[in-house]
Amino acid sequence: MKERVYSIPALKRMPAYLKELKRARADKVPRIASAQLAKRLNIDSITVRKDLEMIGAAGAPGIGYRVDALTEHIESFLGWNNSSEAFLIGVGELGRALLGYSGFSAYGLKIIAAFNCDEAISSYEEYIHGIPVFPITSLEHLIKRLKIKLAILCVDDAYAQNAAETAVNAGIMAIWNFTQQSLLLPERVIQQQANFSGDFAVLSVKLAERIREDEQYGF
């Protein structure tokens, strides 16, 4: 069976739709039109309609979408209505920051354990933000035992490939890669790169353009 291909930009807009829908629900707004969502997010209403059509969300012409129903539909499509348990590999500064981020729960993501790549630390009693931290030597065993399918990779670049291979061989099916290392893994493994440099490049270009505009018009 051929795998359905979804627009990546559209998928990345789904959390923004959810955020606005939850605001509308908090304001007791029963229905919302694509034009209203578009205005809230400063995007084109045609884009909103196409995005929602892509995930099979149906609105009524002239009436719009039921806020509760659309919220549940998007959460179900993203799998955020069920908690996805994950392991975090690497507890340096970035790893520790991610362990302390409470917003993951809104996405249906729950980090249930972390793994320290520093072999000098072997204690099973260490906790970071209430999450247990194990030595990396326990990774393979615990992935198999708990049947974890998602790993968040935050190790040093030099250890990224080895850590990813260990995780995949134990049963990990998807990796959220926060390293700068490109991973060579079987095609069946889903990879998502956290692109800090790419995001900052976009931000930098937009900032430079804004500065030039301000200088041009004397702001």
Q: What is the pLDDT along the chain (219 residues), one digit of tens a residue?
A: 455 678 888 998 999 999 999 999 999 999 999 999 999 999 999 999 999 999 999 888 888 999 999 999 998 888 887 668 999 999 999 999 999 999 888 888 999 999 998 765 544 448 999 999 999 999 999 999 999 999 999 999 999 999 999 999 999 999 999 999 999 999 999 999 988 777 777 777 778 888 888 887 776
- 121 domain-assigned: yes
Which H/E stretch holds residue 87?
strand 84-89
Range of the domain at 186: 84-197
Q: Provide CB contacts within 8 A for 142, sequence distance 6+.
A: 87, 113, 134, 148
Is the same domain home to 142 and 189? yes
Q: Provide CB contacts within 8 A for 92, sequence distance 6+.
A: 154, 155, 156
Is the same domain home to 73 and 173? no
Is the same domain home to 72 and 154? no
Identify the three-state secondary structure at position 11.
helix
HSE-up (13 A, CA, CB side) for residue 110: 11
Is the same domain home to 131 and 37? no
Is the same domain home to 94 and 70? no
For the chain, how many structural domains are there in total?
Answer: 2
The CATH code of the domain that includes 136 is 3.40.50.720
- 1 domain-assigned: no
- 202 domain-assigned: no
The CATH code of the domain that includes 15 is 1.10.10.10
